[in-house]
């Protein structure tokens, strides 16, 4: 199944971020890196680096957490001295916060942050996620990590005009464009399907061929679908958990994602399935044009 390539998207990461705001003002007492690969780089073939591991643990010791932010599908922890931890959960990464400090790490715990107000665990079954340390903003900037990342869907700068221009020059399918992080940040497989359905447009349509009305509907749908998903704490599929360990409720609201062969909620036509951009895609042939 393509399905298990499921990664937390904007609404999920945003809710994890919200759950971690309790960390603000807390002091990092000690850091235990149980799986050095996680802090050593980004690729799937990462070698653990003793230097990187040491920098991570030593650099964060005694630091005070100033903010927890999100950019696209990434989480950023910033300390008062301007140090940064950048985390991407990939498929099975989880941040679980235990204010009591009495919960034991699990067998998939890869990093333990011992804080003045409890413990923060980074758990990751498949270990594709990464949690990287940067001594300052410049060091992060030099990696080019966010260089090609598009605007946030709720950013004031993400206007209808800008979106229209971005679509005009794209020869690929609408779904691929929505999932392309350079156009707009944070949308993956689930929400691309849900947005296309909400806008009543077929996901396989060429982006450059959309008319003004369709683009306007899409633009609105991006905001409304993501807003609702954030409100319902995201879609819990497989390993996504909030920082408290609870699940999100948006999966119950999926109109098309994961519902291939089931009736469309609007017209009762059997929902169709195809593969677009290597991803299983579900849509209604009747409601979407």
Which residues participate in catalysis according to the annotation?
8-9, 73, 279
**CA gap 147, 258 in Å, rounded:** 32
Structure token pair of residue 34:
């149980």
Structure token pair of residue 263:
């009736």
**CA gap 167, 165 in Å, rounded:** 5
Percentage helix, strand, coil for the chain under 3-state DSSP, each rounded to 5:
30, 25, 45
* β-bridge pairing 84-88 and 74-79: antiparallel
Q: Which helix (H) or strand (E) holds 97?
A: strand 93-98
Q: Which helix (H) or strand (E) holds 165?
A: helix 160-168
**CA gap 180, 257 in Å, rounded:** 18
């Amino acid at each position: 199944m393509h399905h298990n390539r499921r990664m937390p998207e904007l609404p999920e990461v945003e809710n994890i971020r919200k759950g971690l705001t309790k960390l603000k003002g807390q002091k990092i007492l000690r850091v235990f890196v149980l799986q050095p690969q996680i802090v050593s780089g980004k690729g799937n073939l990462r070698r653990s680096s003793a230097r990187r591991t040491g920098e991570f643990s030593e650099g964060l010791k005694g630091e005070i957490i100033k903010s927890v932010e999100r950019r696209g599908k990434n989480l950023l922890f910033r300390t008062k001295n301007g140090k940064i931890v950048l985390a991407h959960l990939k498929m099975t990464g989880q941040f679980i916060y235990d204010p009591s400090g009495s919960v034991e790490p699990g067998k998939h715990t890869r990093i333990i942050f011992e804080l003045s107000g409890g413990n923060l665990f980074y758990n990751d079954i498949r270990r594709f996620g990464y949690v990287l340390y940067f001594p300052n903003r410049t060091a992060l900037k030099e990696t080019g990590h966010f260089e090609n990342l598009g605007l946030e869907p709720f950013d004031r700068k993400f206007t209808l005009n800008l979106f229209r221009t971005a679509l005009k020059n794209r020869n690929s399918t609408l779904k691929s464009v929505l999932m392309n992080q350079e156009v707009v940040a944070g949308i993956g497989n689930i929400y691309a399907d849900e947005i296309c359905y909400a806008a009543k447009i077929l996901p396989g349509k060429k982006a450059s061929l959309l008319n003004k009305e369709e683009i306007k509907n899409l633009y609105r749908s991006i905001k409304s679908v993501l807003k609702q998903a954030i409100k319902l704490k995201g879609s819990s599929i497989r390993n996504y958990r909030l920082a408290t360990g609870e699940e999100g409720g948006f999966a119950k609201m999926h109109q098309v994602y994961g519902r291939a062969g089931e009736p469309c909620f609007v017209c009762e036509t059997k929902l169709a399935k195809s593969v677009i951009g290597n991803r299983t895609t579900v849509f209604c042939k009747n409601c979407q044009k």
